[in-house]
């Protein structure tokens, strides 16, 4: 079962909050209202992508807007069951094979996807974690010293080199990367003078 998505807000290189959507929105709204002047960046922890929200109005208005826009969509599929209809492009031989499956095309595709996800779950989780960390790094640390070397070490799976290259980065950035990369089984990074 998938866990609830989490988000992290940074004001410059300072982590403001990490948590579920409601917690993140409330704390980020407080930070924005305090007007620290630092640029605010919000990240989806599962993907590393930056996300934007409308912070106009009160905290309750911000939360109400998000709850309204995240309501289940209606249309093709079975939204109440979480089934969303999308288009898939396949070659004729793929359609022929799918049409011959006793459970139907949709069930056969779901089974294939689930089988693949179960085949090497740790490898898939590690890949997704590295991609999320990379997106976060590009957004917040792209101009930092040793960024390119850290990025290469990240995708090569070289934990010690990666730790070495990020050792002088701000502590909140380092700690967030450690949180995004649990497969690295971190040892404490020596505290660098900031």
pLDDT in tens, 85-144: 778 888 889 888 988 999 888 888 888 888 887 887 777 888 889 999 999 999 999 999
d(CA 78, CA 106): 12
How does 74-86 read in b/e, with b if 16+ C-beta sit within 10 Å? Answer: eeeeeeeeeeeee
Give the rounded percent of residues in the chain with a pLDDT score beyond 90.
55
pLDDT value at residue 37: 83
pLDDT value at residue 192: 47
**Averaged pLDDT score across all residues of the chain:** 86
For the segment 159-167, the average pLDDT, to the nearest whole number, is 93
- DSSP-assigned states of every residue in 144-176: STTHHHHHHHHHHT-HHHHHHHHTTS-HHHHHH
Q: Are residues 3 and 33 in contact, defined by beta-carbon separation less than 8 angstroms? A: no
Rg value, the chain, Cα: 21
pLDDT grade, residue 147 (50/70/90)? very high
Q: Are residues 18 and 178 in contact, defined by beta-carbon separation less than 8 angstroms? A: no
pLDDT in tens, 43-54: 999 999 999 999
Give the number of residues written for the chain.
Answer: 194
Token pair of 62, please? 């911000």
Q: Is the pLDDT of residue 19 over 50?
A: yes
pLDDT in tens, 67-87: 876 555 555 556 666 677 778
Q: Per the confidence metrics, is the pTM higher than 0.75?
A: no
Q: Is the pLDDT of residue 59 over 90?
A: yes
pLDDT value at residue 56: 93
For the segment 49-65, the average pLDDT, to the nearest whole number, is 93
Residue 45 backbone dihedrals phi, psi, to 5 degrees: -65, -25
Which H helix or E strand runs over 22?
helix 21-34
Kindly list the distances between the CA atom of residue 181 and the CA atoms of 24, 172, 175, 192, in Å, as whole numbers in the listed order: 20, 14, 10, 20
Kindly list the distances between the CA atom of residue 188 and the CA atoms of 3, 183, 185, in Å, as whole numbers in the listed order: 27, 14, 10
């Amino acid at each position: 079962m998938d866990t609830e998505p989490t988000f992290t807000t940074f004001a410059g290189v300072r982590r403001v909050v990490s948590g579920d959507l409601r917690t993140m929105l409330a704390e980020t709204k407080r930070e924005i209202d305090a007007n620290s002047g630092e640029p605010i960046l919000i990240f989806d922890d599962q993907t590393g992508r930056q996300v934007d929200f409308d912070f106009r109005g009160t905290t309750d208005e911000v939360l109400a807007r998000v709850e309204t826009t995240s309501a289940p969509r209606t249309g093709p599929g079975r939204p109440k069951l979480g089934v969303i209809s999308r288009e898939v492009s396949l070659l004729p031989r793929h359609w022929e094979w799918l049409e011959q499956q006793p459970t139907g095309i949709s069930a056969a595709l779901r089974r294939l996807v689930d089988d693949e996800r179960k085949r090497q779950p740790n490898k898939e989780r590690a890949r997704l974690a590295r991609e999320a960390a990379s997106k976060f790094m590009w957004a917040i640390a792209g101009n930092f010293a040793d960024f390119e070397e850290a990025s290469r070490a990240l995708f090569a799976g070289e934990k010690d080199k990666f730790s070495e290259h990020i050792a002088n980065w701000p502590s909140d950035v380092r700690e967030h990367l450690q949180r995004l990369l649990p497969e690295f089984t971190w040892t404490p990074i020596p505290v660098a003078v900031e």
